């Protein structure tokens, strides 16, 4: 069997390696346009930021062996041709034509099975001046080398990052750590658009607290230069930002030109259409990685999901199918069922992660969603627990968990990973409330944070409290509505930190004896809160027990408040 793999970044080498393990006798060839193979592209921002200095770690095995053509041949018996561009796929005769970028020679490679892993290319908006020197992306190892050289030379003072997505935020941190003044410019109302706006605002606050500026609801009108070198970035509102460097990070698009010319079906989102076995519309041709459209396991619709982990999972499936000549009885071959779109990023010492659907996405998909924001530490205070602010979405009808997000300085990754498994497993909120997870004080609370969030959402779904989100309360305060806002923390906490929105302080322990200080009309609206609104919830239950009918709890409490505070 002759297997050809086009593309040598993540999915392609994984597919080739899996194919080799399944079929020791197959002839396997990787055709890679770039000079390097199996690059850890998600590590580029951290190389630029100086988290490690050995560039070869980006292209090495866990034991430190560089994954070059010699490695693939010696360790795996795979021929890897770098700086070789596949230019044509003849699906009728099953032949790939490729050109060497070193000497211009042209070769043809017959195949029995073909795996396309051509990845994605960065989106480059048609902005005047975008070809000026000093404007780059962070898509390739060459880009990483360019930005790392800038960091090491300390020759740049000011930079603009265009785009506030994952790569944009990670790049901004990397440049800031190099002593460069950084501004993130984002066209949308918030960075990290996969996040709930409240959580995104908390990340924005953290960025600003670290000295990186964030400009929202604004785009780039023009790049301005002198002698073909960037000197400033002009925004849509006319503002000019002085800059010697601009990094374009507005997303990627599937690289499907080769597949399209070969007559392979391309979907409405611009990616190659594949089934659960990574098969394309053409017999004996598979596709994997950032160039494909992926099935969303919650909505059933195709999505673009250019994530390195998914690329490897898809490569494993395609490699096995491509290398299997005859399926064994009673031994089902692996499949890739799709994605719930789980992602995470580091923002200085803050972390932001997400999995599944937002409230709006769930509603658009036909669900009847309900959501909640909750706050708390990742482990006990005596073990130096760190804060987490979480957001959970569920379907009111089935009670199935549909989405989860978490930000903070605590163990966000653990919480998002647990939720991703729960969502993929079809767990309900009620299932999540009783998960049997490992517990010891160095690692978690007795009721793990994620389980605690499910308790809060279960209480809300069971009508034990009515929540009010920070945005609604803030807007009503700004509109100067008459509100009775009740802070039930202690006096010392109030002096150390408070919102300053006209709240009244009555500590929870004194509430039963000070009911006379509350509105005497039992239908009056009262909003309760504390640091994380656990005591706020208890206060609401006390007042409901006293006959009050319109009590709301500020979800997430002060910890999740994304606006300015008085203290």
Would strands 285-287 and 113-116 be described as parallel, antiparallel, or unpaired? parallel
Instruction: Write down the pTM of the prediction.
Output: 0.94
Distance of CA 332 to the CA centre of its chain: 32
Contact in structure between 447 and 432 (CB atoms under 8 Å): no
**Tokens at 111, concatenated:** 């195949």
Beta-carbon count within 10 A of 444 CB: 23
Domain 466-560 coded CATH 3.30.450.20: no
Beta-carbon count within 10 A of 17 CB: 22
CATH of domain 349-461: 3.30.390.30
Q: How far apart are CA 389 and CA 407, in angstroms?
A: 5
CA angle 522, 527, 533 (to 5 degrees): 130
**Tokens at 514, concatenated:** 């000070």
Q: How far apart are CA 567 and CA 559, in angstroms?
A: 13
Q: Name the CATH code of domain 135-250 (choices 3.30.310.220, 3.40.190.170, 1.10.3720.10, 3.50.50.60).
A: 3.50.50.60
Q: How far apart are CA 326 and CA 335, in angstroms?
A: 16
Cβ neighbours for 251, distance < 8 A, ≥ 6 positions apart: 122, 123, 163, 165
Residue-range domain boundaries for the chain: 2-41+50-120+253-323, 135-250, 349-461, 466-560
> What are the DSSP E strand ranges found in 363-505?
369-377, 387-395, 401-408, 466-468, 484-487, 504-505
Q: How far apart are CA 438 and CA 415, in angstroms?
A: 13
The DSSP symbol for 509 reads G
* 135-250 and 349-461, same CATH topology: no
Q: Does residue 419 come out as left (phi exceeding 0), alpha (psi in the -120 to 50 range) or beta?
A: alpha
Among 328, 318, 373, which Cα is nearest to 562's? Answer: 373
Which strands make up the sheet holding 106-110, listed edge to edge? 84-90, 95-100, 106-110
Q: Name the CATH code of domain 2-41+50-120+253-323 (choices 3.30.450.20, 3.40.640.10, 3.30.565.10, 3.50.50.60).
A: 3.50.50.60
Half-sphere exposure at residue 356, Cβ-oriented, CA atoms within 13 angstroms: 31
Contact in structure between 163 and 248 (CB atoms under 8 Å): yes
Digit-by-digit pLDDT tens for the chain (567 residues) are 999 999 999 999 999 999 999 999 999 999 999 999 999 999 999 999 999 999 999 999 999 999 999 999 999 999 999 999 999 999 999 999 999 999 999 999 999 999 999 999 999 999 999 999 999 999 999 999 999 999 999 989 999 999 999 999 999 999 999 999 999 999 999 999 999 999 999 999 999 999 999 999 999 999 999 999 999 999 999 999 999 999 999 999 999 999 999 999 999 999 999 999 999 999 999 999 999 999 999 999 999 999 999 999 999 999 999 999 876 667 788 999 999 999 999 999 999 999 999 999 999 999 999 999 999 999 999 999 999 999 999 999 999 999 999 999 999 999 999 999 999 999 999 999 999 999 999 999 999 999 999 999 999 999 999 999 999 999 999 999 999 999 999 999 999 999 999 999 999 999 999 999 999 999 999 999 999 999 999 999 999 999 999 999 999 999 999 999 998
Cβ neighbours for 405, distance < 8 A, ≥ 6 positions apart: 194, 195, 196, 199, 352, 353, 354, 355, 358, 390, 391, 392, 416
Would strands 27-31 and 79-81 be described as parallel, antiparallel, or unpaired? parallel
Contact in structure between 285 and 114 (CB atoms under 8 Å): yes
Beta-carbon count within 10 A of 478 CB: 10
Round to the nearest angstrom and report the end-to-end CA distance of the chain.
Answer: 70
* Maximum distance among all Cα pairs of the chain, rounded to whole angstroms: 90
């Amino acid at each position: 069997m002759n297997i050809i793999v086009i593309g040598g970044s993540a999915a392609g080498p994984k597919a080739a390696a899996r194919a080799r393990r399944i079929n020791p006798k197959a002839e396997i060839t990787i055709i890679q346009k770039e000079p390097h193979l199996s690059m850890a592209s998600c590590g580029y921002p951290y190389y630029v930021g100086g988290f490690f200095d050995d560039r070869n770690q980006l292209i090495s095995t866990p034991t430190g062996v560089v994954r070059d053509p010699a490695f693939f041949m010696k360790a795996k018996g795979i021929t890897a041709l770098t700086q070789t561009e596949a230019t044509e796929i003849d699906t009728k005769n099953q032949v790939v034509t490729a050109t060497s970028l070193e000497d211009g020679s042209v070769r043809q490679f017959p195949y029995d099975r073909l795996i396309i892993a051509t990845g994605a290319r960065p989106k480059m908006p048609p902005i005047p001046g975008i070809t000026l020197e000093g404007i780059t992306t962070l898509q390739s190892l060459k880009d990483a080398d360019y930005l790392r050289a800038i960091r090491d030379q300390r020759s740049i003072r000011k930079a603009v990052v265009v785009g506030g997505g994952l790569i944009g935020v990670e790049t901004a941190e990397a440049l800031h750590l190099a002593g460069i003044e950084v501004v993130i410019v984002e066209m949308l109302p918030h960075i990290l658009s996969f996040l709930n706006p409240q959580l995104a605002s908390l990340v924005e606050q953290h960025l600003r607290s670290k000295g990186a500026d964030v400009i929202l609801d604004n785009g780039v009108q023009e790049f301005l230069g002198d002698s073909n070198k960037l000197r400033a970035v002009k925004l849509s509102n006319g503002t000019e930002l002085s800059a010697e460097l601009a990094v374009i990070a507005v997303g990627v698009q599937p690289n499907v030109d080769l597949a399209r010319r070969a007559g392979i079906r391309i979907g409405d989102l611009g990616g190659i259409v594949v089934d659960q076995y990574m098969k394309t519309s053409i017999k004996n041709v598979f596709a994997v990685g950032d160039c494909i459209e992926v099935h969303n396991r919650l909505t059933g619709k195709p999505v673009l999901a250019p994530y390195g982990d998914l690329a490897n999972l898809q490569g494993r499936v395609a490699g096995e199918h491509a290398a299997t000549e005859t399926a064994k009885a009673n031994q089902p071959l692996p499949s890739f069922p799709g994605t719930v779109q789980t992602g995470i990023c580091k923002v200085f010492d803050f972390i932001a992660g997400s999995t599944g659907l937002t409230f709006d996405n769930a509603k658009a998909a036909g669900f009847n969603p309900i959501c909640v924001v909750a706050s708390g530490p990742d482990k006990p205070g005596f073990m130096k627990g760190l804060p987490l602010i979480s957001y959970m979405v569920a379907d009111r009808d089935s009670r199935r968990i549909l989405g989860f997000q978490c930000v903070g300085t605590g163990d966000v990754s653990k919480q998002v990973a647990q939720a991703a498994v729960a969502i993929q497993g079809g767990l309900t909120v009620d299932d999540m409330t009783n998960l049997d997870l490992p517990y010891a004080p160095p690692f978690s609370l007795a009721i793990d944070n994620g389980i605690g969030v499910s308790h809060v959402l279960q209480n809300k779904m069971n009508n034990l409290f009515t929540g009010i989100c920070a945005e609604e309360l803030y807007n009503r305060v700004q509109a100067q509505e008459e509100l009775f806002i009740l802070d039930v923390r202690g006096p010392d906490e109030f002096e150390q930190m408070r919102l300053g929105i006209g709240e009244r302080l009555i500590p929870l322990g004194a509430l039963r004896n000070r009911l006379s200080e509350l509105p005497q009309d039992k239908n009056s609206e009262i909003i309760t809160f504390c640091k994380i609104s656990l005591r706020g919830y208890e206060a609401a239950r006390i007042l409901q027990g006293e006959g009050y009918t319109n009590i709301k709890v500020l979800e997430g409490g002060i910890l999740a408040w994304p606006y300015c505070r008085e203290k």
